[in-house]
């Protein structure tokens, strides 16, 4: 959690986050799906990630992974900042973990880590930007709806 947020969420400071990962392995169809999410600090923010691993349809020697993530927060107002922080942190973590992933793969296959990581990271950044934008728009929309509701009760 960034320092500025600690003041707003004192109960969350210094509590470890617990994460669950569920997975399904389908050896018949040769796919694996993992779903990972945090099971505490959920009132503050929830990050969910789904990865689907399958045989690349164009090259059966390749495994491809599709990674999707959702960052959400139920507290509106401050949460927009929390959501964007979460997304930014996720993006940087994804780059690190993808680097680690590719490094291990390269070592296993006895080759030097390739340059394709840069392209992958670029695509992920674009998708993440789009998702953050959508989240911001949705937050704005819901906030203005909430403001409208308040007026009706005055």
Partner 1 sequence: MNSVGEACTELKREYDQCFNRWFAEKFLKGESGGDPCGQLFKRYQLCVQKAIKEKDIPIEGLEFMGASKAKTENSS
* 39 is a site residue for partner 1 (CB under 8 A): yes
Q: Which of 5, 9, 37, 117 binds partner 1 (CB under 8 A)?
A: 37
* 24 is a site residue for partner 1 (CB under 8 A): yes
Query: Which contacts of 42-48 are long-range, i.e. CB under 8 A and separated by 24 or more positions?
Result: 43/74, 43/75, 44/9, 44/12, 44/73, 44/75, 44/82, 45/71, 45/72, 45/73, 45/79, 45/82, 45/83, 45/86, 46/70, 46/71, 46/72, 46/73, 47/71, 47/86, 47/90, 48/72
* 127 is a site residue for partner 1 (CB under 8 A): no
Distance CA 139, CA 117 (A): 32
Q: Pick the closer one to partner 1 by CB: 32 or 117.
A: 32
Contact flags string 68-87 toward partner 1, x per CB under 8 A? x-x-x---------------
Tokens standing for 129? 């930007």
At closest approach, how far in Å is the CB of 114 from partner 1? 27
* 135 is a site residue for partner 1 (CB under 8 A): yes
* 134 is a site residue for partner 1 (CB under 8 A): yes
* 27 is a site residue for partner 1 (CB under 8 A): yes
| CB 71, CB 58: distance < 8 Å | no
Q: Which residues bind partner 1 (CB under 8 A)?
A: 18, 20, 22, 24-25, 27, 33, 35, 37, 39-40, 42, 48, 50, 68, 70, 72, 134-135, 138
């Amino acid at each position: 959690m960034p320092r500025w947020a600690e003041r707003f969420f004192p109960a969350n400071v210094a509590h470890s986050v617990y994460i669950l990962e569920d997975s399904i392995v389908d050896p018949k169809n040769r796919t694996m799906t993992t779903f990972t999410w945090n099971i505490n600090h959920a009132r503050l923010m929830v990050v969910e990630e789904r990865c689907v691993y399958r045989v690349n349809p164009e090259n059966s020697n390749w495994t491809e992974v599709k990674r999707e993530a959702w960052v959400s927060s139920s507290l509106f107002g401050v949460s927009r900042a929390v959501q964007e922080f979460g997304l930014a942190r996720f993006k940087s973590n994804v780059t690190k973990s993808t680097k680690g992933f590719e490094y291990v793969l390269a070592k296993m296959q006895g080759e030097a880590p390739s340059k394709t990581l840069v392209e992958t990271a670029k695509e992920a950044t674009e998708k993440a930007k789009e998702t953050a934008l959508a989240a911001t728009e949705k937050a704005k929309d819901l906030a203005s709806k909430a403001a409208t509701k308040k007026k009706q009760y005055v």
